[in-house]
Structures are given as C-alpha cells and as structure tokens.
Amino acid sequence: MSWVAPPLALYVHMPWCVKKCPYCDFNSHGLRGEPPYATYVDTLLADLDADRVDFGAALENRPIVSVFFGGGTPSLFAPDLIARFLDGARARLVFADACEVTLETNPGTVEHGRFDGYLAAGVNRISFGIQSFDDAKLKRLGRIHSASEAEAAVKSAQDAGFDNINLDLMYALPEQTLPGALNDVDRAVALRPTHISHYQLTLEPNTVFAAHPPPLPDDDAAWAMQEACEAKLADAGYTQYEISAYAQAGRRCQHNLNYWRFGDYLGIGAGAHGKVTDTARNEVSRRWKTRHPNAYLEAAGGPARIGGHAAVAAGELPFEYMLNALRLIDGVPAEDFSARTGLPQARIAAGLVAGRDKGWLENDPHILRTTPLGQRFLNDVIASFLD
C-alpha cells in the first residue's frame, strides 16, 4: 500500500486549572488571579495561522475530523470564548461534516446553565474528569468537587442536550479496595454516559505524589481491580476498545482513535504537541509549543511559540506506530503500518516474530493485534520494536 496522509485532527490546550492535583504531570497551572482568557483565545488563533503557513501544502485538502479541548480545565473558558475559537478555526480550516468536538471539564468548575452555551458553541461531546465517586478519595487526589457535584454536573449536561458524554475514572487509588473500585464503576454506569475512560493511577515524575508517594494497592490488587471492573463494564454494555477506554456501541472517541491509529493532529496552545505527515517530503514531523502560558502569550503566534520541531527518524517510526496501534483491542490492519509510516512491513518483521513466538501478538499476517497476554505485558511488546 502506498503512503498516504492520514486523517487530521486538532488539539487545543487550555493550560489553567483551579488547583494542581498532586498526581498530575500535564502542563497545567493553578490559578493565581484571573487569567487572560480572551487574549489566550486570540493567541490560539494566531498560533493556528502560523502553523498553517509553516506546514503549507501538507495540510491542503485535509478536513479536520475531530477537535479536542484539553488541559488544564477548558471549562474555565466561557462558552462565548469556545465559540470564538471554533468559529475562527472553521474560517481557517475545513471541518468534516461529522466532526467530533470534545471539551474536557471539571465538575467543580462548570456553572449550571453553561452546558447549553457550550452546545450552541459547537461542542458535541463532553468529557468529565471525575476520577472517583468516593469523597475521601477525591480529597486525597486533590480534586475540588464532591461525588454529588459530579453527578449533578453530568445530569446538567444531559439536560442541556448532550448525548455523548465521557467519564474519566481512576483505580488503584491510595488505600483503595476492590469493593471501592467496583462502587466507582457502579456509580458511573448509573449515570449512563456513552463512554468511560478507566485507568490506573500511576506515580509520574515531577509530581507531588512522586515526591511523597501515598500508599497504593500492590500490583496484584491493582490487576484484580482492573479485571473485575472490566467485567462489570462489559456487563453494563461498555465494550473495551483500547487498554483504558470503554464505549457503548457507536460511541468510541474519534479523536483518541485517530491518535492510536497514528493519525495526524495540529497541536495549538501552551505546551501542545502535534504530528503532521508530509508525503511530498517523505517526512513525519512532531512539533511542540512552548510550555509556560506567559511565554506562549508573549510569542503571540510568532516563532517563539515553538518549543521544538523535529522530523521523526525512520528508525523510530516502527516503535512510535506500535506504541499507539497496539493499545487498540481489535488491533489495526497490517497494511496500515506502511500507509501511515511510508516504511515497508519488513521493518517490523523481527518484532512481529518475537511477539508471536512469546504469545503476545496474534499469529495473523493481516492484523497487528495483541493477545490478552500481550495486553498484560504491553510495554514489553512495544519495546521489541525499538530501533
């Protein structure tokens, strides 16, 4: 199969949050006074303009298939500012007819009545960072909302007309038990979201939890939670389609699917990362923006907004591709490797043989897919494709 440009998405980073959580390693900054929200939106559009010029023909005739407002806490931005950005982006780029537009939100930062404004602005999918329905666990995680506030926020979004809603949940929380993890899933399912992201709490470098580790369940206990919660979600009609993602039929997150299928995305905003394929130059490049909001604002769409830009070396592409594709439970067609990287399948032959010999990969020449055993040892599977 010939090398073709993959689908193109748009990631928009909103860097502020009310308070930095002790487990969070994202580029987020706790509030110190009122951020310049309106100026930031104008700077986002200037950033987008500059990227369009820089990438030039590599973006031509490529509609935006999804938009994702991440953070930080994007719901700190009022609906009229989200509308200003989306209107500006549509004036600069072609949006696909069924473009998925997701806004991440913290249940503690959204005023009741705002959801209809976000819907009118063009947002059609809401993602709630709930993490747990146990008030003691929420306090330990540094969250600013309670379980009842989370439930009220989800219902408010549904009342406003949102019919595509994700809930983020974590398990293996400090001193969490298996019944506690299952109760979180029960409370989430009772709200009838269309999608649930369920992932293990890990201690990331340069976080408060890394410096002062809380007592976490051991590996065996965490695995028991994962298996039991997977079964409960399946019973409730949520199909696992990625290591940490579960969805009702037809409700898989298109933006994240594009990541996992090694699609392209423009990264706009402080610290945002992007990936663009230029088939005319035989190049996959990554670009990231300067991290601190003040420095990003001062750049005002100029060259200083770029924190770095580099072509992905051919020797790194197999690992980068597998790092994403093998997270998908159903895998990807084997021919997609060449279509998305421009490399022959011979570049991954040795890793495939090793993975199949160990029972980590399905022995099917037409599909790249992990076995259930391979899902347990996914990091080892992916490492076999390092250059």
Render pLDDT for 85-99 as a digit per residue (tens, 0 to 9): 999 999 999 999 999
CATH topology of domain 317-383: Arc Repressor Mutant, subunit A (1.10.10)
Quick one: pLDDT band at residue 111, thresholds 50, 70, 90?
low
Distance (Å, whole) CA 168 – CA 245: 9
Output 368 or 2, whichever has higher pLDDT. Answer: 368
Distance (Å, whole) CA 82 – CA 35: 15
Residue-level pLDDT at 3: 83
Instruction: Give the predicted TM-score (pTM) of the model.
Output: 0.96
Q: Under CATH, domain 8-258 is a member of which superfamily?
A: Aldolase class I (3.20.20.70)
Q: Which residues contact 218 (CB under 8 A, 6 or more apart)?
A: none
Residue 88: CB atoms within 10 Å: 17
Overall average pLDDT of the 274-293 stretch: 96
Check whether 79 has a pLDDT greater than 60: yes
Share of the chain above pLDDT 90, in %: 93
Residue-level pLDDT at 4: 86
Closest residue by Cα to residue 243 from 361, 355, 331: 331
Task: Map tokens 């951020």 to a residue.
Answer: 35
Overall average pLDDT of the 1-12 stretch: 89
Distance (Å, whole) CA 40 – CA 36: 6
Q: Within the chain, which residue ranges are assigned CATH 3.20.20.70?
A: 8-258
Angle at 253 between CA 247 and CA 254, to 5 degrees: 140
Average predicted confidence (pLDDT) for the chain: 95
Check whether 173 has a pLDDT greater than 70: yes
Q: Is 112 left (phi over 0), alpha (psi -120 to 50) or beta?
A: beta
Task: Map tokens 């340069």 to a residue.
Answer: 206
Give the bridge partners for 102, in sequence order. 68, 125
Q: Within the chain, which residue ranges are assigned CATH 1.10.10.10?
A: 317-383
Residue-level pLDDT at 142: 93
* Cβ proximity of 111 and 147 under 8 Å: no
Residue-level pLDDT at 109: 76
Overall average pLDDT of the 306-331 stretch: 96
Check whether 112 has a pLDDT greater than 70: no
What confidence tens digit (pLDDT) does each residue in 12-33 have?
999 999 998 999 888 899 888 8
Check whether 1 has a pLDDT greater than 70: no
Closest residue by Cα to residue 383 from 360, 367, 363: 360
Residue-level pLDDT at 110: 74
Quick one: pLDDT band at residue 349, thresholds 50, 70, 90?
very high
Residue-level pLDDT at 123: 98
Residue-level pLDDT at 317: 96
Check whether 144 has a pLDDT greater than 80: yes
Strands 245-247 and 239-242: antiparallel
Quick one: pLDDT band at residue 165, thresholds 50, 70, 90?
very high
* Cβ proximity of 16 and 77 under 8 Å: no
Overall average pLDDT of the 223-249 stretch: 97
